[in-house]
Amino acid sequence: MSNFEAFFDYIQKISGKLLSEDDKHLLTAHFKTRKLRKRQYFLQEGDVCKYIGFIVKGSARTFTVDEKGHEHILKLSVENWWLTDFESFYLLTPSRFNIEALEELEILQSTNAEIEEFLKKIPAFSAMSNVISQNNTIAAQKRMQAINYSAEERYEELVSNYPHFLQRFPQNMIASCLGLSSETLSRIKKNALK
């Protein structure tokens, strides 16, 4: 149950609204705990992403594989983040992404239809969804700006926004996530020490 406590706290904090006991029961009834071992896939390219997961414990990476067989990480996800391919999840189209557990992963998962229900029935859930959408829109704007950033600037931004990622994830994944080769990132870190 402590899984759900953290989840409820998250919803209330983000939305600025309280969950009633009924709300909590509804959520508890529909969100299923799921555990994935390290390296296990939450989603494989070509499948429809039927679930959205709230990360209780652990981390995951979302990545694509290009024609040359190179992997590109789009996103690293940790506790209290939502895990899904939104495009596939919303539109029910086959996903172009893979989502893989990087550590022992524990999530609370639910389906699109259930989420629709929560949005209708739970004011705090719907308010949370709106806040997340707002943040997403703002983040999307910021990312447009980042087109012209140099490798150093992209790295500095990550350091200031997600400093704990540096300890948690190997450098080659950080590099991939920033769209850099791991050699370049290694050199950037060396220069930054001066």
- Name residue 49's amino acid: C
Query: Helices (DSSP H) in the chain: which residue ranges?
Result: 2-15, 21-30, 86-91, 112-121, 123-145, 151-161, 163-168, 171-178, 182-192
- Of the candidate residues 17, 32, 168, 189, the single one contacting DNA (CB under 7 A): 189
146: which residues sit within 8 A by CB, 6+ positions away? 154, 157
- Of the candidate residues 23, 85, 106, 114, the single one contacting its own copies (CB under 8 A): 85
Binders of DNA among residues 60 to 79 (CB under 7 A) are: 70
Nearest CB to DNA, comparing residues 111 and 184: 184
Asked if residue 194 binds DNA (CB under 7 A), the reply is no
Distance CA 29, CA 14 (A): 21
Q: Which does 87 bind (CB under 5 to 8 A by kind): DNA, its own copies, none?
A: its own copies
Distance CA 113, CA 152 (A): 43
Binders of its own copies among residues 153 to 182 (CB under 8 A) are: 178-179
Asked if residue 92 binds its own copies (CB under 8 A), the reply is no
Cα 122 from chain centroid (whole Å): 23
Give 48's Cβ-side CA count (13 Å radius): 8
Asked if residue 142 binds its own copies (CB under 8 A), the reply is yes
Q: Which does 66 bind (CB under 5 to 8 A by kind): DNA, its own copies, none?
A: its own copies
Number of residues that bind DNA (CB under 7 A): 18
Which residues sit at the interface with its own copies, rule CB under 8 A?
64, 66, 72, 74-75, 85-87, 90-91, 130, 133-134, 136-145, 147-148, 178-179
